[in-house]
Structure 1
């Protein structure tokens, strides 16, 4: 793989369950302790395409919490085999003990209450410069050719967008004027990443990350980006199942979704303003697929004892021939971090490949990985996945990748 460059992965929210599982998974793959089950890039579809190996990733990151929290996370990594954890513990501890201080500006009370006690308020330009310096330091320390930035932080409240978020010049004036209420921490992270030439993945629902001006900057500077909100559970099933009703011309009258989960994600989503961001990305899928809006609701409840487990129960009430009313129910139970981590590894591989190929801007072929894919209106899973397989076919025809 001579053309593949030495690549670092900088995780925002590095002390969280998903980030810890991403690193644990890459370490386990490197030591051949596990198979790449759940990684889309390891399916036969991508055989022969030159993708960087997760075992070769160099990990770094930042968080708003202290390193002490990492021990609690380690103790709660129940889905991971104790035998695997024992083998990778030294490297995982080293990762957790070398985390930069993150930013939580204008992210709401739920997130700001987690901040380092010593954190001080800085101007927007200072925050961005600190982030850029951290990325440069990470690159220098490990002799990296490329750094991929992945946002795995807690969900922020929705950011109400204005015309000033749409153009680069007006957005930069907003930053220079220190108008902190007009941005979230995710905005500053993505801005810093793109200015440093780092491909950026927003795995969170936070809409402040990939603003229109940020997307234009990425395209102009030759930086691949994609988001928003990793599609790992209920919405994954919904985007696969809803097209069936459309194909059979069955009328969906109601689709109700009930979700319960633990871990830090659940704790943050227990706050209404943060939960609203998540519901927005989950709730618009049906109308996009069906072409109409049935009665639907999505509820999210915090159950601490579940820790990293999440359960979704969906009830679908539909009408068929002669007006007969029928129903379908499904229950999805899984580990949040276990479902998300392999997708993060996939996305890093695709982002590195895109940068190596001099692709710029939104990576729409990655739509199937996200609940609210930027630049893509088609939410049917099979159509989104076809975009990815078409991309793989293009690479083969070009003899590149």
Structure 2
């Protein structure tokens, strides 16, 4: 049984590698994409915003698919679609590129919604610690994509460099084959019936605070992921290589950031101080990027650690605040639906404002507001209260 649990964990970790990588891969080669396809700043922002919006809109469908097929079969289907969409989208024009990006986002949503449910259900009392490890896999996938896409583009061109990440999704398909076909697991594969948010969930302030934290964390993370290299090249005069280094650091340091949270979150029953600290560091980093861009190395390091802590905190709080796996399924769907709807605004608003005004100070205001909102939402989400 223990060996089977390790197999499940390994499969979930490989799935996690695919839930951010194809989004993070765009940023290092965005100038090349814009030049070749004649994209505006607002349209370029959609390449990062659209998948996040799909995380929201596709959440109810992901719960339905999980109930229909079982968690691990649904994850397998999601990873197969990620592989296909990733392989196809770089070779189309602008509109087909955007359409394939929507499909990619919907496929990633299956993993976003069902991974926390699988952890809550299959790992019992270890769920909080396992959540930190699985969240680290998201940061690892993003870090690999951010760090390797630019060198691959030099060698292969940006189209082949983006398409190459389909291979990682195929690895996940193989890893999920065992859990998805294990007959003796069939009684456990159904996702608990979500039935919408439910009256209790929709009126629960803790549930809304957890949702808000994920949404505002997404605004800051995806806004920085989409635009930090361009901002630093414009404001600090960085070369393409140094801007790529800044983004690589931002993504790579998310890995230790995610692993810090499980160690800190269990030091007490109240997690408010940790959440407030995460929001405060985000705000300092985002202000520093614009007001002191020459210190980009400090901001990349601080931002990398705190972005990992932020996403890990959001999903760990989801698990800790859920009374059981039924509530985890409903709260996960609620978080994805409303949280990622808010999160999708970040990259698009930054690109829209910067393109219209030419000012990075004005463009970053939405991210500053989001970071301040993290502090407020953590005051409620961090309280020791179960969502039922």
TM-score range, shorter chain: under 0.3
Larger strand proportion of the pair: 1
Larger helix proportion of the pair: 2
Highest RCO, 1 vs 2 (Cα 8 Å, sep ≥ 6): 2
- Rg (Cα) greater in structure: 1
